[in-house]
Amino acid sequence: MSDIIQLLPDHVANQIAAGEVVQRPASVVKELLENAIDAQATYIKLIVKESGKTLIQVIDNGQGMSATDARLSFERHATSKIKVAEDLFKLQTKGFRGEALASIAAIAHVELKTKQEEDEVGTEIRIEGSEVVSQEVCVTPKGTSISAKNLFYNIPARRNFLKSNTVELRHIIDEFHRVVMAHPSIRFDMYHNSSEVFNLAITNHRQRIVNIFGGKTNEKLVPVKEETDLVTIHGFVGKPEYAKRTRGEQFFFVNGRFIKSAYLNHAVSSAFEGLLKDKAHPSYFIYLTVDPNSIDINIHPTKTEIKFEDEHSLYAMLRSTIKHSLGQFNVAPVLDFNRDSSMDTPYEYKGKIAQTPTIEVDRSFNPFKEEKIIQDNSSSNTYYVPKKEPTANWENLYVGLESEMTTSAPIENDFSSVEFESEEIVGSLFEGDEKKVGHHTTYQLRKKYIVTTIKSGMVIVNQYRAHQRILYEELLRNITMASAVSQQLLFPLTVSFSKSEIQLLDTVKEQLENTGFVFGELSEGEVNITAIPSVTSEKEVLVLLEQLINDLENEVPDSGFSQTDLLARSIAKSIAVRTGVELASEQQQYMVNSLFACTDPTITPDNKPTFITLTVDEIDKKF
């Protein structure tokens, strides 16, 4: 029998490695930006076309590379960051595996231009699918410019799995945020399809966060700072009143590297315990500095997961630090045993004896005496006592009344001509409220289900899912026919969002207006709303828009009906009647009738059942 195990060719091995390192265009952006930072650049420029599918280019003014280094950088496991295995536990750089450039070159057309400061000319290398096409000298400024074109051109299956341009651009912007927030001392520019997306000057951490997420972010931030032998913590957390239902603005950085950690996230959430609304998530931007020997970064190809040596102590320190900051800045109640000088007795009152207040009473006052003026000699106050009319001869009021009644014409007790004023008819909130009060055909169970009867047995309706279906079809009808009813706001509502979130809202602005929204100005960091749909309330608008943006970021479809469908589903999910809301019998009946008037009453827009039926036979079997 012949041997069946063989070594893979280099280009195949590189494509397999690319599957771990390069999952989408955002992965390429991350690796190239981190290489530019390791090259000690002070200015980095990112250029993207068609959400990275056509072009990803990173230009920096870093150290640059020699001709030999430029050629060697595309080999697997070639790196300048480590020399021995022990170096893995004292890393201060971003990249160290030596797989990024080799993986990118395996699935794209790569062009590299680089020059060191002392060299007169630079080096240009072109690689297509791990094959070096050309290497020659070129004229280029100090630093490195590397571009990856036609991503996954030789792996069509991987390219077909990429999402729409909007989704892929969102992932690129997320990776860009994670890099630029960790390095405010570097200037970053980003361009997409020749239009500027970000222009971030050199600044501090707080201003960098404000520049990314909008000017209104500044008033939402509470500073966090603590230094111990184990860890140095600094950064910011969002005030509880600005907490969102989505987890968008949550960032951990360890030694300048973005990480994901459910354990540390729980520490932050527990610090906010009792301060947040139900299902709300706090914003935080936490920078941790630890000894490189106490962490292991080399446990995941994307380097976003880190193993800590003493994570229990880190959990406790992070939680207590955030709690202290929230109390120190009067965001949360705190016990402070230090004396507050503002509560001290003023200097001029020290040593004085407190005087007991006295009450002066006019003992000669008689309310039944004639009107008179009483002068209080002990003070300058004057009391006025009104004169009361005598009521002794009250019988005189009725003299002659009986004779007057006998001489006048008799009163006819004929009420046939009396007209009663009709009651004002007020429009009902629910249609078809003509049933008699007290005649119940529905019953609400646990403020969650609506129970009603049918010929064959009974129906149990989930009120939240049913209302979702009703609103979904109503919103779809309003969007497609542009016939929604709006309620004008007395004072325009101003909602703060980041620049990228406002761009997302702008893409669905027309559909939102068809649902009943009326927008004023869409500025840099604010959205002005002058009218809202009649089916929602003012306090629900922020939650609704946050949920909508989150849905758009995660599953934005292409334009057309699918985008309208997503919009209707997102709004219906946000404003539907939740579990725990008590409904009147008329509301219950209206919801049941409206559900079964839908085109598909059996499932929600997310394909979940809205009701179940129990036949009489099934009930009989229970007995």
Are residues 262 and 164 located together in one domain of the fold? Answer: no
Identify the H or E element spanning 55: strand 55-60
Does the pLDDT value for residue 543 go beyond 60? Answer: yes
Composition of the chain by helix, strand, coil, percent to 5: 35, 25, 40
Are residues 453 and 560 located together in one domain of the fold? Answer: yes
Residue 565's pLDDT is 79
Q: Token pair of 242, please?
A: 């600005």
Q: Is residue 386 part of a domain?
A: no
% residues pLDDT > 90 (the chain): 25
Does the pLDDT value for residue 13 go beyond 90? Answer: no
Residue after which a domain boundary falls, among 181, 200, 219: 200
Are residues 140 and 223 located together in one domain of the fold? Answer: no
pLDDT confidence of 433, banded at 50, 70, 90? Answer: very low
Instruction: Choose between 241 and 9: higher pLDDT.
Output: 241
DSSP assignment of 570-612, as one string? Answer: HHHHHHSPPTT----HHHHHHHHHHHHTSSSTTB-TTS-B-EE
Residue 426's pLDDT is 42
Domain enclosing residue 236, as ranges: 209-328
Q: Is residue 353 part of a domain?
A: no
Instruction: Choose between 328 and 176: higher pLDDT.
Output: 176
pLDDT confidence of 123, banded at 50, 70, 90? Answer: very high
Are residues 70 and 213 located together in one domain of the fold? Answer: no
pLDDT confidence of 43, banded at 50, 70, 90? Answer: very high
% residues pLDDT > 70 (the chain): 77
pLDDT confidence of 483, banded at 50, 70, 90? Answer: low
Does the pLDDT value for residue 384 go beyond 60? Answer: no
Mean pLDDT of the chain: 80
- CATH number of the domain at 488, please: 3.30.1370.100
Most confident segment among 9-18, 26-35, 158-167, 484-493: 26-35
Instruction: Choose between 595 and 413: higher pLDDT.
Output: 595
Nearest-angstrom CA–CA distance, 307 and 311:
8
Summarize the confidence of residues 534-549 as an average pLDDT.
80
Long-range contacts of 275-282 (CB under 8 A, 24+ apart): 275/240, 275/326, 275/331, 275/332, 276/240, 276/243, 277/243, 279/245, 280/243, 280/244, 280/245, 281/243, 281/244, 281/245, 281/246, 281/247, 281/250, 282/237, 282/238, 282/240, 282/243, 282/250
Are residues 228 and 154 located together in one domain of the fold? Answer: no
pLDDT confidence of 467, banded at 50, 70, 90? Answer: very high
Cβ neighbourhood burial of 113 (10 Å; 0-12, 13-18, 19+): buried
Summarize the confidence of residues 473-496 as an average pLDDT.
80
Q: Is residue 484 part of a domain?
A: yes
Does the pLDDT value for residue 405 go beyond 80? Answer: no
Q: Is residue 375 part of a domain?
A: no
Q: Is residue 562 part of a domain?
A: yes
Q: Is the pTM of this model over 0.85?
A: no
Are residues 158 and 220 located together in one domain of the fold? Answer: no
Residue after which a domain boundary falls, among 285, 309, 328: 328
Look up tokens 């046939």; give the residue: 416
Residue 406's pLDDT is 55
Q: Name which of 223, 212, 22, 36 is nearest 112 in CA terms.
A: 36
Does the pLDDT value for residue 528 go beyond 70? Answer: yes
Q: How many CB atoms lie within 10 A of CB 509?
A: 14
Does the pLDDT value for residue 373 go beyond 80? Answer: no
Does the pLDDT value for residue 372 go beyond 70? Answer: no
Maximum pairwise Cα distance, the chain: 139
**Dihedral over Cα of 432, 435, 438, 444: its sign:** negative
pLDDT tens-digit readout, 211-256 = 888 877 888 899 999 998 889 999 999 998 888 877 778 999 998 8
Are residues 46 and 182 located together in one domain of the fold? Answer: yes
CB 516 within 8 A of CB 486: yes
Q: Token pair of 343, please?
A: 């509560």
Amino acid at 89: F
Q: Is residue 457 part of a domain?
A: yes
What is the domain count for the chain?
3
Q: Phi first, then psi: what are they for 462, rounded to 5°?
A: -80, 115
Residue 437's pLDDT is 42
Question: Can you point out the beta strands (E) in 413-509?
Answer: 442-445, 449-454, 457-462, 486-496
Nearest-angstrom CA–CA distance, 169 and 198:
13
Look up tokens 């009107």; give the residue: 371
Residue 136's pLDDT is 93
Are residues 186 and 213 located together in one domain of the fold? Answer: no
Residue after which a domain boundary falls, among 175, 200, 225: 200
pLDDT confidence of 341, banded at 50, 70, 90? Answer: low
Does the pLDDT value for residue 85 go beyond 80? Answer: no
Does the pLDDT value for residue 172 go beyond 80? Answer: yes
Are residues 36 and 108 located together in one domain of the fold? Answer: yes
Q: Is residue 411 part of a domain?
A: no
Does the pLDDT value for residue 20 go beyond 70? Answer: no
Residue 524's pLDDT is 67
Are residues 241 and 262 located together in one domain of the fold? Answer: yes
Are residues 214 and 196 located together in one domain of the fold? Answer: no
Instruction: Choose between 418 and 522: higher pLDDT.
Output: 522
- CATH number of the domain at 170, please: 3.30.565.10
Q: Is residue 377 part of a domain?
A: no
Does the pLDDT value for residue 425 go beyond 50? Answer: no
- CATH number of the domain at 318, please: 3.30.230.10
Are residues 175 and 91 located together in one domain of the fold? Answer: yes
Instruction: Choose between 439 and 353: higher pLDDT.
Output: 353
Residue 400's pLDDT is 65
453: left (phi over 0), alpha (psi -120 to 50) or beta: beta
Amino acid at 276: L
